[in-house]
Amino acid sequence: MTSVWRTSGWVLTGAALILALSLGVRHGFGLFLAPMSADFGWGREVFAFAIALQNLIWGLAQPFAGALADRLGAAKVVIIGGILYAAGLLLMSTADSAWSLSLSAGLLIGIGLSGTSFSVILGVVGRAVPAEKRSMAMGIASAAGSFGQFAMLPGTLGLIEWLGWSAALLVLGLLVALIVPFVGMLRDRPLPSHGAEQTLGQALHEACSHSGFWLLALGFFVCGFQVVFIGVHLPAYLVDQHLPATTGTTVLALVGLFNIVGTYTAGWLGGRMSKPRLLTALYLLRAVVIVLFLWAPVTQYSAYLFGIAMGLLWLSTVPLTNGTVASVFGVRNLSMLGGIVFLFHQLGAFLGGWLGGVVYDRTGNYDLVWQISILLSLLAAALNWPVSERPVARLQAQAA
């Protein structure tokens, strides 16, 4: 087993570096809402729509990026994704209208993220390690990648304060371009095809005929709604509560820091306990955390506690959800099937990011969206409870 981990360690390191850059930069987009909106006289809905569109495009492109990675290997997909991501950041630095912001931050970065984030990268990890270590390996990659979310936030804020938002985006574009050379560390190859292997159509039919697949997908919709609403709008929400602008940055940094602990722990627990039951517990805990945050007086300390608690629950859903898909359907089409589930995550992300801006511009507060987030947590908990990790009949027959 030691030799297996030594062999896969290079893959895990490459996966962590790529996820750190890809997700770390994305995690800081909310910091650009206020300065860009102020410079161009936009309402919050303009920036919120662009980020919501980014998440929608990301989700729509993800199954295709995953299918290409499963069939051709991840390297080509990640390289193209990294180039488009960097190009989107460079163009975003010159955006001066709603359409140019949507083109850069929405379309290009959305497609770029589909090739450089969880579904493709965790598919590589899933193929690199034995089944009994898969959940933990995904947790390690996600946790190490989460460090980027912690490290990049203060760096992004510092760049904005030092250089201004436009030059800061140029620097971030250059950082994201480093994803391209890191691809060499993945060493991913598509699994060899045998006569009895599923076709793409058969894999889709098998998954779409499985109720657990749709329950996972619908539950993941809630995750997307919550994390994008909070990631984009929480800094502005805290300013509305008369807290310093640095408070929101610190809270999001705490989310990234404690996300490292949460994703690693979720991956570790997922190898020992029922992953769907753990997902149910996570969504219930999210509801409790949001209720307590809204119920208590909003201070810097309560905001920091909220960031710590949400960080522990932030992307803990990712190794558990992808691990369940791998357990039920195998790893041959993991990037594609994980991409379809992730599409639902991004549909929720689009709604959470955009609705936050719409509700604020119409009502002057975020109260309705917070309430929706709580109700959706309860719904996601109920959806994940009946999901079974039992492999489909095809895998059971192969193991017999």
**Residue by residue, what is the 3-state secondary structure of the chain?**
CHHHHHHHHHHHHHHHHHHHHHHHHHHCHHHHHHHHHHHHCCCHHHHHHHHHHHHHHHHHHHHHHHHHHHHHCHHHHHHHHHHHHHHHHHHHCCCCCHHHHHHHHHHHHHHHHHHHCHHHHHHHHHHHCCHHHHHHHHHHHHHHHHHHHHHHHHHHHHHHHHHCHHHHHHHHHHHHCCHHHHHHHCCCCCCCCCCCCCCHHHHHHHHHCCHHHHHHHHHHHHHHHHHHHHHHHHHHHHHHCCCCHHHHHHHHHHHHHHHHHHHHHHHHHHCCCCHHHHHHHHHHHHHHHHHHHHHCCCCHHHHHHHHHHHHHHCCCHHHHHHHHHHHHHCCCCHHHHHHHHHHHHHHHHHHHHHHHHHHHHHHCCCHHHHHHHHHHHHHHHHHHCCCCCCCCHHHHHHHC
> Which residues are CB-contacts of 350 (< 8 A; sequence separation ≥ 6)?
52, 53, 55, 56, 59, 224, 228
Flag whether 195 is in a domain: no
Flag whether 162 is in a domain: yes
CATH number of the domain at 323, please.
Answer: 1.20.1250.20
pLDDT value for 1: 42
Flag whether 39 is in a domain: yes
pLDDT value for 99: 93
pLDDT value for 197: 67
Flag whether 71 is in a domain: yes
What is the pLDDT tens value at each position of the chain, 400 positions in all?
A: 444 444 577 888 888 899 999 988 987 888 898 899 889 988 878 888 898 889 889 989 988 898 888 878 888 999 999 999 999 999 999 998 999 999 999 999 999 999 998 778 887 887 777 777 777 777 777 777 778 877 887 889 889 999 999 999 999 999 999 999 999 888 766 655 555 567 778 888 888 889 999 999 999 999 999 998 998 889 889 989 999 878 988 898 888 889 888 988 888 898 889 999 999 999 999 999 999 999 999 999 999 999 999 999 988 898 899 889 988 888 777 778 888 898 899 899 889 988 988 898 899 899 999 999 999 999 999 999 999 988 887 877 776 6
pLDDT value for 77: 93
pLDDT value for 190: 60
Buried b (16+ CB within 10 A) or exposed e, 128-143: bbeeebbbbbbbbbbb
- 316: containing domain: 10-188+201-399
Q: Which two tokens stand for residue 373?
A: 């987030």
Flag whether 4 is in a domain: no
Flag whether 1 is in a domain: no
Number of domains in the chain: 1
pLDDT value for 149: 74
